[in-house]
Chain A
């Protein structure tokens, strides 16, 4: 993604290991309205597989990955239900 998406909520999960970033995402999904987006910033390798897998299992939309200013990966999710 060349242009950074303006997310409605960003969760800084740096320093957390799996499954904590996914738990944090699950516990915060209700903080945004259906159709709004959450960005999960995580340097944990497992997040790259597990956030898309969580979206598939919980029926939300996975929008892909970009990076924050310091280069850490950010995973983008749209609440679908």
Chain B
């Protein structure tokens, strides 16, 4: 067995990829360790160990419901954010099958939505229509209205974009969908724990490891009264929306992380928003032929994306890692599929030389300054090697 080799415990120096996975919140770590001892049993059993697990699970659900301002019976814990997306979206489509099997979604949805859409089309023959975005990656409510002028089963629009940070105009989108009586599915993984999710969705999904909870724990929300039908086999466990044994310790740790995150979010958001502003300005000023993409103001606090002309995405990720910084990239050469980010392509942005920087809750000003200091040299070296005239 390979032993984990954490670099320096909770300190995450140089790790700038919280949008892929935020380090476990210290509160969640503590709760997780305790819950591993107390929450191993089957919460459906009547023995006292089972009742203990059940209490922890109910507590996790109550905390998440209160943090997200929803009813407890609207919360389902899943085994990942992706599973929550699949269940939420496909369950709404299933519930609307007799009205229309047509799905409308934005061009910049997470791949979990896009893959579920393709699966749905293949299975039901239902059509999928994609609503385009502007140069900042923002969905146009007018285009949503045009797409919904034909009968539709479900509309899927994210709360905020996971690659470029742009917030989507959910209130306006809801109003359009309400006028057409079309239920809305919202992937709010990018904003959960950072920004409130405006009500108006019929189902929504998020992922705990994006807010400092453990990985392998998703949250599915299904609005009471929504026409949602289980798209996959169910079992006779506590929650009729999902099958399989509940991960009680992870659910409790996720709930604790969310609660802690909400308590500190004003300060964390403000600090991150300012640091991202600084990155946006300095990158544009110090790196030639660079494009900082995504909305400058109406955005997530912690995330920024830019693309450097003539730079290989894999090279820049590798070079920055060598300098001590962990970043993500939407460039084709860094993805397993060899296709560039569909988000950047939909925006008409440069897809190569792409760097996504996302701050963790404890990223310091000093780390950001060190990153900004090494970046121009890294880009210049890669360009020189590539023989750019």
Residue-wise, chain B 289-324 has the 8 Å CB interface mask toward A (1 for contact) of 101000000000000000101111100000000000
Residues of A within 8 A of B351 (CB): 18, 46, 49-50, 53
Which residues of B lie under 8 Å from residue A44 when comparing CB positions? Answer: 332
Contacts of A57 in B (CB 8 A): 289, 291, 309, 350
A49 touches B350 (CB 8 A): yes
Chain B 317-354 interface mask (CB, 8 Å, partner A; 1/0): 00000000000000111000011100011001111110
Contact B310 A26 (CB under 8 A): yes
Q: Which residues of B contact A52 (CB under 8 A)?
A: 348
Count of A-B contacts judged by CB separation below 8 Å: 70
Cβ contacts A40-68/B at 8 Å (1 or 0 each): 00001110111011101100000000000
B307, B331, B340 interface centre (most CB from chain A within 10 Å): B340
> Is B388 part of the binding interface, using a Cβ–Cβ cutoff of 8 Å?
yes
Q: In terms of DSSP, what is the predominant structure of the interface of chain A? A: helix
- Chain A residue with the shortest CB-CB distance to B346: A49
In whole angstroms, how far apart are the Cα atoms of A56 and B338 in the complex?
24
- Residue-wise, chain A 15-46 has the 8 Å CB interface mask toward B (1 for contact) of 00111101100110000000000000000111
Give every chain B residue within 8 A of A56 (Cβ-Cβ).
348
Give A37 to B189 CA distance when docked, in angstroms. Answer: 45
Residues of A within 8 A of B289 (CB): 57
> Do B352 and A50 have beta carbons less than 8 Å apart?
yes
Q: Is the CB of B332 within 8 A of A54?
A: no
Say yes or no: is B9 at the interface (Cβ < 8 Å to chain A): no
Contacts A45-B332, A46-B331 known; A23 to B387 CB distance under 8 Å? yes
Identify B340's interface contact among A20, A27, A49, CB under 8 A.
Answer: A49
**Chain A residues with a Cβ closer than 8 Å to the other chain, count:** 19
Cα A19 to Cα B352 with chains together (Å): 6
In the complex, per-residue mask of B241-254: 1 if CB is within 8 Å of any chain A CB, else 0 = 00000000000000
Q: Is the CB of A54 within 8 A of B340?
A: no
Interface membership of B389, Cβ < 8 A: yes
A-B contact pairs, 12 of them (CB 8 A): A19-B309, A19-B352, A26-B388, A46-B332, A46-B340, A49-B340, A49-B348, A49-B351, A52-B348, A53-B348, A53-B351, A54-B350
18 further A-B contacts with Cβ under 8 Å, apart from A22-B310, A50-B352, are: A17-B332, A17-B338, A18-B312, A18-B333, A18-B351, A19-B311, A19-B312, A19-B386, A44-B332, A45-B332, A45-B340, A49-B344, A49-B349, A49-B350, A49-B351, A53-B291, A54-B350, A56-B348
